[in-house]
Amino acid sequence: QEDDFKKVISHAKEYGYVFQSSEIYDGLSAVYDYGQNGAELKKNIREYWWRAMVQLNDNIVGIDSAIFMHPTIWKASGHVDAFNDPLIDNKDSKKRYRADVLIEDYCAKIEAKIDKEVAKAAKRFGDAFNKEEFLATNPRVVGYQEKINTILSRMAKSLEEEDLADVKALIEELEIACPLSGSKNWTDVKQFNLMFGTKLGASADSAMDLYLRPETAQGIFVNFSNVQKTGRMKIPFGIAQTGKAFRNEIVARQFIFRMREFEQMEMQFFIKPGTQKEWYEHWKETRLRWHLSLGMGEDNYRFHDHEKLAHYADAAADIEFKFPFGFKELEGIHSRTDFDLSSHEEFSGKKLQYFDHEENKSYVPYVLETSIGLDRMFLAVFSNSLKEEELENGTIRTVLKLPAVLAPTKAAVLPLLKKDGLPELAHEIVNELKWDYNVIYDEKDAVGRRYRRQDANGTPFCITVDHQSLEDNTVTIRHRDTMEQQRVSVDKVKEIIASEVDM
């Protein structure tokens, strides 16, 4: 698993998808840059989301609010007081951990033991092996699972009650039971606020302390009335936006899974109080369907319903994805009640209400939120697409099977030889296609090597121009995933590409 993840990271660099930020200065921890291919993939994911959320829904509109916001907003939202992570330092290794993530890592070690038992039993029983039954009845496995549940619920309770001494005690116990860090010398657990501070204004006296926004959602809440009135929006309706958010994460690791500067794609859906249960179910289902539409495998997703709820929520679930390091949160669906709008009413002194003509009364709407990290989605797509396949001749093919709608380059046009007018015809095809699609021209190396290069790059189609093309105006179109080749008329090329890559 670790090796797979290393391959993902090095492939992302080698093919111009993701670079460490400030690399020539030895980098900046948990900050990344997107290269020529990464920027395209990211843009395509953003567009795929925007189309599904804004363009296809009559009652959802999109905005683009500023990163700098009035500092009181973060008091109203609860971020000044409650946007903390519990941190703990190990005095021996001088390593800093997020206490809850560390505890989850101990649980993952126990989970690995379950996986081992399953693998052993599967081998022993062969075809007769029933995994579900085994998980439910094998005493050792059931014991491990109970242990994990006990640990997680004790952690949730201690964090909820701010009993940080017990969080420390739990870590100390776990370190003895299933060593991870190899040392026992821990500091106390402290709460650490994740917001980055900055200053607005030039002179020291008049400068105003600001925060870089840790989420895009508040830009939507504070514009609720502006959008509702100018767009004459009727409840239920949604406001969506994508944009940068900043968090001073304690443990920055796992590549672009947890970054200090990242992008979110959020939608706040404003509803009549009392209808939140239905809308919660609706958005859970709708968002899962969006993920499944990319064809990355149903088994790679699962819901995780929260038992411990954030201060603003009355129900919350994550859509988890199977990353190379296991199932982790990809998107959150939160039923936020009227917490945000009411709180902004209180702190700003302005009414944030909706007049419901059917009910003939005003109220503060309830909110359902869907919130997904664009970079995390990028990692999900990228890591799931990277495959190594053994071909019939025994060689290994590295192929990035990105969903065609998201691929940075849709087609590469390749003249078989660099002479006899083949490059000219290939350029003509590029010039025709580039009005609609990102396409490239490539004439370097033997055609087989060029195919492999495009496979690794994630390009769904290669279009090869040969001598026959000059005679009958046909080309070969090669499909990345199946490696099948078809002879088609040049006029048909655009249609074939469109059938797979159009959103």
Please report, as ranges, the residues that interact with ligand ATP according to CB under 6 A: 215, 247, 249, 258-259, 262, 264, 329-332, 371-373, 375-376
Asked whether residue 59 is marked as a ligand-binding residue, the answer is no
Asked whether residue 263 is marked as a ligand-binding residue, the answer is yes
Asked whether residue 265 is marked as a ligand-binding residue, the answer is yes
> CB of 251: closest distance to ligand ATP in angstroms?
10
Asked whether residue 369 is marked as a ligand-binding residue, the answer is yes
Q: Which is nearer to ligand ATP, 262 or 280 (CB)?
A: 262
- Report DSSP state, residue 216: S
Q: Which is nearer to ligand ATP, 249 or 340 (CB)?
A: 249
> CB of 57: closest distance to ligand ATP in angstroms?
20
> CB of 54: closest distance to ligand ATP in angstroms?
18
Q: Which is nearer to ligand ATP, 77 or 90 (CB)?
A: 77
DSSP string for 297-347: -GGGEEEEE-SSPPTT-SEEEEEEEEETTEEEEEEEEEEEETHHHHHHHHH
> CB of 4: closest distance to ligand ATP in angstroms?
20
Asked whether residue 330 is marked as a ligand-binding residue, the answer is yes
CA nearest neighbour of 296 among 388, 408, 410, 386: 386
> CB of 131: closest distance to ligand ATP in angstroms?
28
Environment class of residue 232 by beta-carbon count within 10 Å: exposed (0-12), middle (13-18) or buried (19+)? exposed
Q: What are phi and psi of 185, to 5 degrees?
A: -90, 90
> CB of 196: closest distance to ligand ATP in angstroms?
12
Asked whether residue 374 is marked as a ligand-binding residue, the answer is yes
Q: Which is nearer to ligand ATP, 373 or 458 (CB)?
A: 373
Cα distances (angstroms) measured from residue 353 to each of 233, 236, 340:
12, 13, 12
Radius of gyration of the chain, Cα coordinates, nearest whole angstrom: 26
Q: Which is nearer to ligand ATP, 374 or 497 (CB)?
A: 374
Asked whether residue 329 is marked as a ligand-binding residue, the answer is yes
Asked whether residue 247 is marked as a ligand-binding residue, the answer is yes
CA nearest neighbour of 433 among 497, 343, 351, 356: 497
Q: Which is nearer to ligand ATP, 375 or 466 (CB)?
A: 375
Task: State the residue number with the nearest CB to ligand ATP.
Answer: 373
Cα distances (angstroms) measured from residue 90 to each of 30, 105, 154, 179:
21, 15, 21, 13
Q: Which is nearer to ligand ATP, 40 or 331 (CB)?
A: 331
> CB of 194: closest distance to ligand ATP in angstroms?
9
Whether residue 451 contacts residue 460, with contact meaning beta carbons closer than 8 Å, is answered with no
Give helix 2-14 / helix 374-385 axis angle, nearest 10°.
100
d(CA 262, CA 390): 36
> CB of 262: closest distance to ligand ATP in angstroms?
4
Q: Which is nearer to ligand ATP, 264 or 464 (CB)?
A: 264
Asked whether residue 266 is marked as a ligand-binding residue, the answer is yes
Asked whether residue 257 is marked as a ligand-binding residue, the answer is yes
Asked whether residue 98 is marked as a ligand-binding residue, the answer is yes
CA nearest neighbour of 411 among 440, 436, 431, 382: 440
Give helix 139-160 / helix 99-125 axis angle, nearest 10°.
170
Whether residue 196 contacts residue 211, with contact meaning beta carbons closer than 8 Å, is answered with yes
Extract the tokens encoding 269.
């859906």
Cα distances (angstroms) measured from residue 335 to each of 368, 428, 499:
5, 53, 38
Which residues define the annotated binding site for ATP?
A: 247-249, 257-262, 329-330, 373-376
Q: Which residues are annotated as a binding site?
A: 98, 215, 247-249, 257-266, 329-330, 369-376
Binding residues for substrate: 98, 215, 262-266, 369-373
